[in-house]
Amino acid sequence: MAPLTEHGGRVDAARSLYPDAPLPWLDLSTGINPSAWTPAIDPLIDLRALPSPSALAALEAAAASQFGALPAQVAALPGTELGLRLLNDVGLPPPYRYVAPGYGTHRDIFPEATAIAADALETAADSGGTILIANPNNPDGRRLDPQHLSDISARLGRSGGWLVIDEAFADAMPNISMVPLLGSRERIIVLRSFGKFFGLAGVRLGFVIAPDPVLASIRRRLGSWPVSATAIALGRLAYADTDWIAEMRVQLIDRANALDEVLRGHGLVAIGDCPLFRLVEGEANSLFDRLARKGILTRPFDYAPRWLRFGVPWNPADFARLDSALRG
């Protein structure tokens, strides 16, 4: 099971471990929207030419408009995974702390980083340095109020520290985003994901929102063509599709509530309230195995063997399949 505890979406590994499971697999192991955005018009992507600076700037402006940021604060990334890993190169000060539980990537970003609990943020902030936190958090769906995070940032800033916020799931719940509160003086860096909310993880597109010195350092490391022509074209159209965005935010909440109902029907109580996933606690290993034998992949955790995360199913047939598998 080890390959399946590192990341979600490892259906190929699940197939090899459970060769007799019925096909097709129902992948509930990620927090990626299963109802992906599709363009209403042909994006007319010219793969023969290098991406143009003006097209890249238009993408960043479209994303900034959705985030509530100024275009000058936003830089496109080939996925937030890379953006996180670049943070080690932009001169952020030690000591380095990340809030746990959280993304596996977070503990790999900074050398000699230590884990802290969310309720220790105030104390940690008073010692300066750099703190990395996800909001909403993965995998437990914990969310922190933006004003609380602003206060943490102010405490860090008094000692020259920085707060890094991974908002990979914030498109589904924009009221918790720090981005609209950012000016030019806060010592805050925010990462945003495209693929999770829009259901297009393979596009490998993300964004960093940060003050000028940090943004300039990251841009230098990314070079002249940080993202592909495909990512630029799809991102521009998707962020401009405001009707789809508004409708999807409602749909995801409805589906998450429906997932809660299915889980409750089998004695499973969800932790957290991120609309793209739910976490349950119990006999996780046996439940994971039972579902996998029926071709349903969920997300186990090596550091929390009683936890199991469920992505939100797509349609009534997927809900019914999950309900049936949980029944026996």
The per-residue pLDDT for range 192-234, each reduced to its tens digit, is 999 999 999 999 999 999 999 999 999 999 999 999 999 999 9
96 closest CA partner among 130, 69, 70: 130
Q: Is the pLDDT of residue 4 over 90?
A: no
pLDDT of 262 strictly over 80: yes
Q: 161-185 burial by CB neighbour count: b if 16+ within 10 A, else e?
A: bbbbbbbbbbbbbbebbbbeebeee
Confidence of residue 5 (pLDDT cuts 50, 70, 90): confident
What is the chain's percent helix, strand, coil content, to nearest 5? 45, 15, 40
In CATH terms, the fold of domain 53-240 is: Aspartate Aminotransferase; domain 2 (3.40.640)
Q: Looking at domain 2-31+243-327, which CATH architecture does it have? A: Alpha-Beta Complex (3.90)
Q: Tens digit of pLDDT for each residue in 7-66? A: 788 999 999 999 999 999 999 999 999 999 999 888 989 999 999 999 999 999 999 999
pLDDT band at 1 (very low <50, low <70, confident <90, very high): low
What residue spans define the domains of the chain? 2-31+243-327, 53-240
Q: How confident is the model at residue 140 (pLDDT cuts 50, 70, 90)?
A: very high
Helices (DSSP H) in 33-134: which residue ranges? Answer: 53-67, 80-86, 121-125
As a dihedral over the C-alpha atoms of residue 35, residue 64, residue 56, residue 204, rounded to 10 degrees, the angle is -40
For residue range 227-260, what is the model confidence (pLDDT) as tens digits? 999 999 999 999 999 999 999 999 999 999 999 9
Alpha helices in the chain (DSSP H): 11-17, 53-67, 80-86, 121-125, 146-157, 195-198, 212-222, 229-240, 242-264, 284-292, 316-327
- Overall size of the chain counted in residues: 328
